[in-house]
Structure 1
Amino acid sequence: MEFRYLGNSGFKISEIIYGNWLTHASQVENDIATQCVQAALDAGITTFDTADAYANTAAEKVLGDALKGERRASLEIFTKVYWPTGPKGPNDVGLSRKHILESIDGSLQRLGSDYVDLYQAHRYDHETPLEETMQAFADVVRAGKALYIGVSEWDAEQLRNGHALAKQLGFQLISNQPQYSMLWRVIEKEVVPTSGELGISQIVWSPVAQGVLTGKYKPGAEAPAGSRAADEKGGANAIKSFMRDDVLTAVQQLQPIADELGLTMAQLAVAWVLQNPNVAGAIVGASRPEQVASNAAAAGVRLSSDVLGRIDEAVGDVAQTDPSLTVSPERRPV
């Protein structure tokens, strides 16, 4: 495993991050989830990402239980706040001071920890003044409940404004967590250059495009039984934007490139996002322990400019590049 600094800080994280969206307390049983976490530790992964909204808080508890007994200082644990949780009342959502301060305490209790290494705004809250949100995050840091603050899916202007307020309040905004893959490149034109200027790193989710970049989905064919595209608990909805025949046909053209490099398609996809110097880590999920070990092997892989060019040619114009696709809900979800 290799490690990278997160933003303009002295804090290091593993290049491969284990995340439990759509898996823990949902797609996989708790004992399998624990095996996956152990596989991550065995592979040298020390960074774990979750959120209070995953399985309506249950995923945090599963992760905390799976990490119980590990040396806390040797781990980097991330969680997030924004989406509705609990009974989903009017104040159980968003980035108000009330919701942030109550949510961090709930997350720490479920994770079984006195602090999280990184606390992230899971989206931008258009209904709360940014000053209120950033002041609440500053107080969370000063209380020792989070060491660093990050965000997720903020656009370039939101990052710039949040960074300026954080600086005024005496703490650092060091990360953004966007979707990023060969097929979803919407951060490249605006978010990445702005982040580089501000000293903010990307922690990217869905580097394998919800499993599409494994090549297991064939154009014109039914989704394999047990796959995410066949999962009615949420996986199928999350992956549907990639399940077009033109996308799946382009993905099949990546197989010879992976074969030449001695990589699986998933390893090639994860390695590709890590070539971006603004990316500090790639989040991978798993429903089986062996998937974790396989994805972790992408750490340290370096792709030549020739290979990167061939990937661009194979993917062609099916990749999404429009920066306006980085959006947060105009109204808080209910």
Structure 2
Amino acid sequence: MAKNTRQAKPRLLLMGQRRSGKSSITSVVFHKMEPQETLFLESTTRIQKDIMNSFMDFQVWDFPGQLDYFDSTFDTTQIFADIGALIWVIDAQDEYSDSLARLTTTIINLQNTFPHINVEVFVHKTDSLNEDFRSDIFQDVVQRVGDDLNDAGYINPNVSYHLTSIYDSSIFEALSSVIQKLIPELDVLQNLLDTLINNSGMTKAYLFDILSKIYVASDTRPVDSDIYEICANYIDLTVDFTDLYNYPRDDPKSLGEQMEEVESSMTFEDGKMVYLKEMNKHLCLVTVIQNKEAKDKKGLIDYNVHIFQDALKAVFERAWEKTGGEVTGEGQSSARPEQNSLET
């Protein structure tokens, strides 16, 4: 992303038809509402704006389904110029032909004026559908949107598709994929995580945004939903408890010298270990080690994670740590520290 876009707090726009589940997504992911409680949410009648003070400050705008964003009464430049991604939510349990028509119209309009925008299609509310029906609907959406865009002369537009539900981890994994595209340092973070797990005997490692449980990076091994859920649930178990006695995470101002970062590990009966360590007040590393000898090598793991933390601070330094002023979300790249190296 361009530097001025990152400084302006990148925007995520949630769009789609009425009752497609946009407000439920923001409530569950960013406000920790229980999924069953979203059944009582009222339909959105005006633009809802949330500012997330997190590892990378960004805005989430929830648009009412009935609005025509390209009507002359709207300033499309103000709406779309600084956004990081447009998330279009489709209700997979309802008739979605009108939603697909509006989606393709929106994509075509964006291609003409803001072609850099990532369009992310969430085929949503798939939790109650059997696997075959869910796959059929997903393929139908991809095929119909692709055909309509090809007919309009747009070949391979910047559109990605995700199956999502608020009742499982799929919505967090989809939003993680969206956010990762906005992080200029993603490749560097992945390389650091690859080095960490290869030298520490880890199975999988995630760098989580603590407030939302979106992972901003992981190593390059395939994502396993079961391992992701273990890591995400361990954040709830450990970090939410320590928040009762620790610093407030939602304070956007600098807090000066941080308190000691939270660190925790737990070994399962089968010898599997889950390990968590805060990198700063916004990010934490959570990893799973499927090795019965992991608990006997915790000193090595602690040392390697400490080196990883130092490298992370150099690559993705937070503005609040430097100035004590307003958080801008601006990342800063630099070389990895050379004085220390991981041990195996």
User: Shorter chain as normaliser: what TM range?
Assistant: 0.3 to 0.5
| Structure with max Cα Rg | 2
Instruction: Looking at secondary structure, tell me which structure has more strand per residue.
Output: 2
Calculate the TM-score normalised by the size of structure 1: 0.35
Calculate the TM-score normalised by the size of structure 2: 0.34
Instruction: Looking at secondary structure, tell me which structure has more helix per residue.
Output: 1
